[in-house]
């Protein structure tokens, strides 16, 4: 049976029950797969960067290129795997507990130690494999005939470059960077996408209770907890809007296996799972509401002082209006009819609420509520407050 948790302002919002745990497990599996791909990508990037550095250093030394390129490729691959594994598995947890200076000091010291080990292993292993050295004799040969100091500096430089690229990927969505470099969307392009708007419920009360600085920290932690679910479902963060976030997928990807719905329910479960920590740190337990809508948008790069990918059209405006409607109807998740018709939702119940006139739309929108296999709740919260509910057309 689903549980009903109390929101900051006293309202009650249903959260996913144990019947949706399979969806959460699936999202976790997808997140692990995403991270493994990211680590492998950095290993491959390290291979290329290391081989190129090896060739460059061979040219400086006037040596034959084969052995330095091999050593560089091995060192680069190990360095890439080290950076990728650290950034994907270790740093996200530390980022919540450490400040900026402490976190980057950890990076610097950790990578320096890691690069020392990587340079040694990457130079000794090829000597063992190709020249029949033992570990000890291979190490002695590297220290006597190699360039350990220079290789160490090159390894640290490569680690810093890869870390910078990773941070750049986080500053801009991976898809955005790919589209920017490949030239896609430099001319306005029509495509069909689905959007999820996730917003904190009763955020005004939390903001007043915490004050601006603590509330900003509260939001930062909430957005950090949302990130794993977004990455796992291969969503793209389109915008952070106040205390909410808009996530987007191509229509096929977002509706396949109900990825857009699973993203929301997993976000809700993650925040519920971390509720005690939020209570201890902020005295507040975050709850979310959401809305999903999809349709045609025009995608293009805009801005000269700051480039960003923009989606123009009625679809984005409509999902924002739909999210506002979820608060008025006291529903955890609303979904438009045109997206609902594309989804298979085992483990969930949907209730048709009717068609609603939303501001800025000419035609009424068919709206469904999505819940986790429990009897749908109605607008008791609004009735208690004396609010007037929007009237459906059918």
pLDDT tens per residue, range 116-148: 888 788 778 877 887 788 888 888 887 877 777
In this prediction, residue 62 has a pLDDT band, given cuts at 50, 70 and 90, of low
Q: Across residues 48-69, what is the average pLDDT? A: 71
The pLDDT score that the predictor gives to residue 312 is 93
Tell me the CATH architecture of domain 173-385: 2-Layer Sandwich (3.30)
Q: What is the pLDDT of residue 103?
A: 81
Cα–Cα distances in Å, from 228 out to 15, 88, 233, 257? Answer: 18, 11, 9, 18
DSSP letter for each residue of 160-207? HHHHHHHHHHHHS-HHHHHHHHHTTTSS-EEEEEEEEEEEETTHHHHH
Q: Give the three-class secondary structure for 371.
A: strand
What's the Cα-to-Cα distance from 372 to each of 9, 25, 103, 198, 225, rounded to whole Å? 23, 15, 39, 17, 21
Query: How far, in whole angstroms, is CA 86 from its chain's centroid?
Result: 16
Q: Which residues of 74-86 are buried (b: 16+ CB within 10 A; e: fewer)?
A: bbbbbbbbbbbbb
Q: What is the pLDDT of residues 187-245, one digit of tens each?
A: 889 999 999 999 998 788 888 888 989 999 899 899 988 988 898 888 999 988 888 99
Which band of pLDDT confidence, cut at 50, 70 and 90, is reported for residue 5? very low
Tell me the C-alpha distance between 275 and 283, whole Å: 10
Where do runs of H (alpha helix) occur along the chain?
A: 21-61, 66-85, 91-97, 100-131, 135-145, 148-171, 174-182, 203-210, 212-232, 251-255, 259-273, 275-282, 314-328, 337-340, 380-385
Percent residues over pLDDT 90 in the chain: 23
Q: If you average pLDDT over every residue of the chain, what do you get?
A: 78
What gap in Å lies between CA 27 and CA 76, rounded to an integer?
31
In this predicted structure, what is the pLDDT of residue 152? 73
Q: What is the DSSP letter of 367?
A: E
What percentage of the chain exceeds 70 in pLDDT? Answer: 79
- State mean pLDDT over 383-388: 38
* Closest by Cα among 226, 306, 223 to 265: 226
pTM for this predicted structure: 0.68
Intervals of CATH 3.30.70.1230 along the chain: 173-385
* Residues 6+ away with beta carbon under 8 Å from 334: 290, 291, 292, 322, 323, 325, 326, 353, 367, 368, 369, 370
């Amino acid at each position: 049976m689903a549980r009903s948790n109390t929101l900051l302002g006293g309202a009650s919002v249903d959260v996913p029950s144990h019947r949706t745990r399979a969806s959460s497990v699936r999202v976790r599996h997808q997140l692990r797969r995403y991270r493994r791909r990211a680590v492998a990508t950095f290993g491959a990037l390290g291979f290329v960067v290391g081989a190129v550095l090896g060739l460059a250093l061979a040219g400086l030394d006037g040596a034959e290129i084969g052995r330095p390129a091999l050593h560089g490729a091995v060192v680069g691959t190990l360095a890439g795997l080290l950076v990728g594994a650290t950034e994907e598995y270790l740093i996200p947890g530390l980022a919540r507990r450490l400040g900026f200076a402490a976190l980057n000091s950890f990076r610097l010291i950790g990578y320096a130690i890691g690069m020392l080990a990587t340079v040694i292993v990457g130079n000794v292993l090829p000597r063992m494999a190709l020249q029949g050295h033992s570990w000890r004799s291979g190490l002695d040969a590297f220290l006597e005939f190699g360039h350990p100091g220079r290789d160490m500096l090159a390894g640290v430089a490569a680690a810093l470059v890869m870390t910078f690229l990773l941070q750049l990927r986080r500053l801009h969505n991976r898809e955005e960077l790919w589209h920017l470099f490949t030239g896609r969307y430099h001319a306005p392009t029509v495509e069909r996408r689905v959007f999820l708007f996730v917003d904190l419920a009763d955020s005004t009360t939390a903001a007043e209770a915490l004050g601006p600085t603590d509330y900003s920290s509260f939001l930062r932690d909430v957005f950090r907890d949302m990130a794993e679910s977004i990455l796992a479902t291969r969503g793209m963060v389109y915008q952070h809007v106040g205390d909410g976030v808009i996530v987007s997928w191509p229509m096929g990807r977002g509706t396949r296996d109900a990825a857009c719905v699973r993203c929301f329910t997993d976000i809700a479960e993650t925040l519920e799972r971390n509720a005690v920590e939020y209570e201890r740190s902020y005295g507040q337990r975050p709850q979310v509401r959401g809305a999903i809508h999809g349709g045609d948008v025009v995608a293009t790069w805009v801005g000269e002082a700051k480039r960003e990918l923009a989606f123009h059209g009625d679809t984005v405006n409509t999902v924002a209006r739909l999210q506002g409607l979820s608060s008025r109807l006291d529903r955890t998740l609303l979904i438009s009819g045109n997206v609902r018709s594309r989804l298979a939702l085992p483990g969930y119940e949907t209730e048709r609420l009717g068609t609603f006139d939303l501001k800025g739309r000419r035609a009424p929108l068919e709206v469904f509520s999505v819940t986790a296999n429990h009897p749908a709740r109605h607008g008791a919260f609004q009735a208690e407050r004396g609010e007037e509910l929007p009237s459906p057309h059918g």
